[in-house]
């Protein structure tokens, strides 16, 4: 009769446990680098979107839409829009349709693994979207939306470039920024909404376009909108005449803007 020593079993269990941990570590590192790759792609999309101006011809945006896998939807005769969405895991942002096994696995991991286990690895869901409205062959509106899992809630930012010189409240304005609440996400959150009419200055445009990309991929998640959009709060500190619907005195901003 064969006898199996308990010591051999213990060693085998330890080896299997170490192997499982090693595989888990490699998988997490792979997901982290995948997220960083998608974020680099998203930053490139945002940079190209800021170069599009209201009044540009439709032909000037078709290559952008094709390069990032955008889609077209019609709203009325002669009017339609192009939408581009980028997200590494797409837990809540993915539209209906079939998912590949790889995508389904990512969604399962991000949906079922607690935030406190994912955050040290820099694994968080985010979405970057660009929408281009077209009417009679010309761009009428350029808008962008970015949302990311924060430390305790979702953080977002959207800007909209229009041909109308009105703010979010409908009154004549060169620049508008307001805060709104996100209610679709499981943990809720808040977002900054900015409107850039034709009268917006270069300083206002620059402040609106800048975003802290470290909130999307760093090991430490961002805690507030101050972390996500420090450029906006710096501008508001320097220009108290701009009226907003939120408090800006609680922000502790870094000394310089986030590098590219």
Q: What is the mean pLDDT of the chain?
A: 80
Residue ranges per domain, the chain? 6-238
Q: What are 168-180's pLDDT values in tens digits? A: 555 555 678 889 9
CA atoms within 13 A on the CB side of 29: 6
pLDDT of residue 12: 80
Say if residues 192 and 177 touch (Cβ distance below 8 Å): yes
Q: Tens digits of per-residue pLDDT, 4-17?
A: 555 566 778 788 88
Per-residue pLDDT tens over the stretch 62-80? 999 999 999 998 877 778 9
Q: What is the pLDDT of residue 256?
A: 47
pLDDT in tens, 44-64: 999 899 889 888 999 989 999
Per-residue model confidence (pLDDT) at position 56: 92
Query: Which comes out higher in pLDDT, residue 188 or 116?
Result: 188
Q: Is the pLDDT of residue 24 over 80?
A: no
Residue 208 has pLDDT above 80, yes or no: yes
pLDDT surpasses 70 at 158: yes
- How large a percentage of the chain has pLDDT more than 70? 80
Would you state the pLDDT for residue 91?
58
Each residue of 234-259: pLDDT tens digit?
Answer: 998 888 888 787 777 667 655 544 43
């Amino acid at each position: 009769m064969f006898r199996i020593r308990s010591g051999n079993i213990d060693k085998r269990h330890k080896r299997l446990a170490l192997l499982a941990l090693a595989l888990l570590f490699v998988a997490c590192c792979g997901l982290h680098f995948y997220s960083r790759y998608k974020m680099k792609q998203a930053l490139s999309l945002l940079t190209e979107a800021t170069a599009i101006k209201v009044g540009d011809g439709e032909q000037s945006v078709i290559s952008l839409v094709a390069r990032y896998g955008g889609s077209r939807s019609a709203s009325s005769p002669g009017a339609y829009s192009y939408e581009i969405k980028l997200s590494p895991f797409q837990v809540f942002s993915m539209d209906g349709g079939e998912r590949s096994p790889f995508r389904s696995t990512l969604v399962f991991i991000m949906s079922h693994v607690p935030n406190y286990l994912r955050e040290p690895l820099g694994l968080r869901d985010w979405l970057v979207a660009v929408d281009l409205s077209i009417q009679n062959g010309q761009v009428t509106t350029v808008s962008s939306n970015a949302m990311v899992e924060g430390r305790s809630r979702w953080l977002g930012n959207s800007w909209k470039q229009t041909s109308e010189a009105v703010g979010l409240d409908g009154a004549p304005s060169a620049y508008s920024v307001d805060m709104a609440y996100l209610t679709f996400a499981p943990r809720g959150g808040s977002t900054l909404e900015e409107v850039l009419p034709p009268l917006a200055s270069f300083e206002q445009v620059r402040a609106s376009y800048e975003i802290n990309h470290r909130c999307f991929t760093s090991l430490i998640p961002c805690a507030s909108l101050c972390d996500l959009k420090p450029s906006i709060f710096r501008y508001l500190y320097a220009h108290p005449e701009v009226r907003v619907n939120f408090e800006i005195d609680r922000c502790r901003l870094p000394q310089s803007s986030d590098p590219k």
